[in-house]
Structure formats: structure tokens, C-alpha cells
Amino acid sequence: MQNSSSPVSVPVLSPEVADALAAGRPVVALESTLLAHGLPRPENRKAADEVEDAVRRGGAVPATIAVLDGVPHVGLTAAEVDRVCADPELAKLGVRDLPVAAALGRSGATTVSSTALLAARAGIGVFATGGLGGVHRHASDTFDESADLTALARTSLVVVCAGVKSILDVPATLERLESLSVTVVGYRTLRFPGFYVADSGSSIDWAVETPAEAARVFAARRELAPGAVVVANPLPVDQQLDAELHDRVIADALAAADAAGARGKDVTPFILGHLHEASQGASLEVNVRLVLRNAELAGQIAAELAALPR
């Protein structure tokens, strides 16, 4: 389907999102890659509603983002969410892929980088996700680094996440975020979370204690320079994946990936599949749990941000 009338720079807003933004009410952006590629069907459709409900509990309007027939949509109808969750052929769209999808009328789920870009274009200041992409292990040889990092360096919004998956090189990821001048704060912690586990083993310099503090940090950043504020929100220890199981399975999965010759973008799904199987599905339960927590906190931060003078 050819689409030449809706450039990628002009996303279509759902009526609810458009009304909220026009009235200055809080809105939280949500990615769609989690739904299309991160969770199994049909559980992904249930999770889509749960994540949006968590944003509402936090006091904000949810805006799930996807590209449908070449047109970026910020805020999806129930039928559009059904489409994203049901289509096994839906593309995965980073920033580099958006112009191709727009020009050729293709559909796809948005990653962290493209969701951040489209959210900022729509005037949304807060984004909730599971975990960021980062620097992959052996990146000094492969140059394998997520586009999320550079996207956050030039996009002004709050990103609430559970850190990065510990299959990545977490210290190198934090170094890159520092080099790119992305502000990173822990939510009530000075330990950077490792997605499935509360502590990745790396420390960070700053913490905020309340959603209001996070909102004020972003307001100050927005006045100073473009770029994101990453709010790293760890799971409580009693809700994380068993740490011993996590460490053992990750080590086994990395060795298996190396033995299988998995390289580049194939490494992450290989390891996550190994983790899911070895944990008997517990890793997916943790994934949904942390996304819900991040969505609710993002709603609270968005509500505090909307209350600040502009």
C-alpha cells in the first residue's frame, strides 16, 4: 500500500491523546515492540490493556505508539491494538526504519528509539518501557550498540525503565550514556537495575525519591539542553527473577550462543529464549511485572510534570 500523504514527522493522535495534550493533561507514551515481539500471543493482548491501565492508575492518559500502513499513530484504538498484537509479520521499526515504512506504506511496532522520537514529536514528555537497549558484550569487536542510546541523547523526554538486560555490557552502557550526556537517576536507589534483577552490579550517581523530584529533574534538563532523563526503576528484590537462576542461565546462554555462532542482532533473542525455557516462563512474568510498575510510575511522573509551570 503506497502512502505519500502522511509524512512520518506528522503522527496521527487518537482523540483521547489529542484532547489530553491540548488541555495540558498528563500523557505517557508506550512502545509497541513489547506487544508485537516481546510477549507471546495471546498473552500480549491482555498485557496491552494492563499496561495502559497502569498508566491510568498513575494519573495519566496512555499513548501506545505504532506505525500502521505507513502512518505513525500515537494512541491506538482497541482494534488497532488487536492488529499489533495479532500480526506475526509485523515489522520492528527503529528510527532508521521509519522513513522506509512511511514511504512504502508499511506497518510496524516501534522500538524504544522510534517511540521516543514519535512521542517527542507529538509533545509527550514521559515514556514508559521495560528496559533500554545498550552496548552488547564484545562490542569492541562487533560495534554492536543499540540505537536507543543515541536516540535518547537527542530526544527530550523522561524514560522510565528497569535499566538494561544483564545480557548486555552494563558498565559499558552506562559509560556510553555518560558520554552522550544522558541524565540517569535511580528511583530510590543508587544501584542500576538489571531488568530481571534489582541490581545489575553497577552503581549510578544520582537518585530521586518521588515522582515530583523526577519531574523537576526533567524540567531542569529540558531548559538546559536536549536529551532524555532515564529514571531507572528496579523491581523489589522479592519480585525479581531468582538471582542465582538468572546468573547461571545467562552464563550458560552466552556460552551456547557463542557455540552456535549467534552474532549481532541474533544474540539477544537466542539468549532470551534460553532464559525463558530455563526459567519455565518465570522471566516473562517478571517482564510483565516490571513493565506495569514502570507504567504506573511514569503516569505519576507525567502528572507531576503537567502540574509544573511552563
- The verdict on whether residue 112 carries a ligand-binding annotation is yes
**Is 148 part of any known ligand binding site?**
yes
144 annotated ligand-binding residue: yes
At 279, the amino acid letter reads S
| Residues that are catalytic | 31, 165
Residue with cell 537497549: 133
Q: Tell me the pairing of strands 158-161 and 126-128.
A: parallel
**146: annotated binding-site residue?**
yes
State the Cα angle at 246 between 244 and 248, rounded to 5°: 70
265 is in an annotated binding site: no
Q: Say if CB 106 and CB 92 are below 8 A apart.
A: no
Widest distance between CA atoms in the chain: 56
The binding site for Mn(2+) consists of 144
The binding site consists of 92, 112, 144, 146-148
The binding site for substrate consists of 92, 112, 146-148
